[in-house]
Amino acid sequence: MPELEQNKPDVSIVIVNYNVQNLILKCLQSIEDYCQLSDIEIIVVDNNSSDESVAMVKHHFPYVVLIENTKNEGFPKANNQAFAKARGQYIFMLNPDAELCDDAVSMLRNYMETNPFVALAAPKLLNTDGSFQQSFWRFPRMRYIIAEDFYCKPLLKKKHYNDKNVNEILMVDSVSGAAMFFRKSILNLVGELDETLFWIEDVDFCYRIAQQNMKIAYVPSVQVVHHIGQSAKKNYEISISNQVYNKIKFVGKHYSKWQSVWIKLHSFFIVGLKIIIFGMLAPFNNIYRLKAKAYVYTIKRVFNPPTGIK
């Protein structure tokens, strides 16, 4: 096994793991294959996995700094634990279901070194089959929320930067938390990840960076494969409720009071409508029944959404 020198690393790679032993094995192996290990440190936070993830990391990657939580602390809090231990001047926040395609770490570091006005950079994400994966967006706006709720994809082109050449470097509003490379020093300005959020903490983090008039760059020459959707089991109650709650919490945190009231009323209407639709379809397919049940679970909490993972 490679031995890391004890000098201060340039980059701290932070990975939060929960029951994805096979995926994090590939993730860590890709880092080992493409990175100069003496220039980095790898911090893995395990959220009390019930598989053999921890044992595997200890056996195959003994140089990894491993934080073992005794319960699932959630993605934001686990990352914040790693940020506190990180010694690098840069932090590369990476999902366990991601794999490097090349020396993404050095490439992103070099980009940041030559572009001091950029606070955070993100690579192009690819699906498992090598196709393009949407991983950057304009910040949530009321028109985008309405378009999403009514599945009006043509109205979302601007949100997804379809009006830009996505094969060129872009300054964007927000990027996916699956792969974020940023200066550790910005944590002193904008704070860490918001531990009350779940699945929108990356957009919130980017929003706070933008409020400090700092830039976020999408760098497509750097590529990372992201096996999206494979790091968690299908759970409609969690996925559907958090899609709704995150919009409510984000708008309530960053936008005006009337917009906060509007998003709750709008969400209540949309959730109620989908309860009716999926309830009518439930006899024909079990998926519809599960979705109807998830929306019933969600509507009870629209006006007082829970924090974190609920």
The 10s digit of each residue's pLDDT in 167-226 is 999 999 999 999 999 999 999 999 999 999 888 999 999 999 999 999 999 999 999 999
pLDDT of res. 232: 45
3-state secondary structure labels for all residues of 102-146: CCHHHHHHHHHHHCCCEEEEEEEEECCCCCEECCEECCCCHHHHH
Give residue 291's pLDDT. Answer: 95
Neighbours of 39 (CB within 10 A): 17
In percent, how much of the chain has pLDDT > 90? Answer: 88
Based on the number of CB atoms within 10 Å of its own CB, is 154 exposed (0-12), middle (13-18) or buried (19 or more)? Answer: exposed
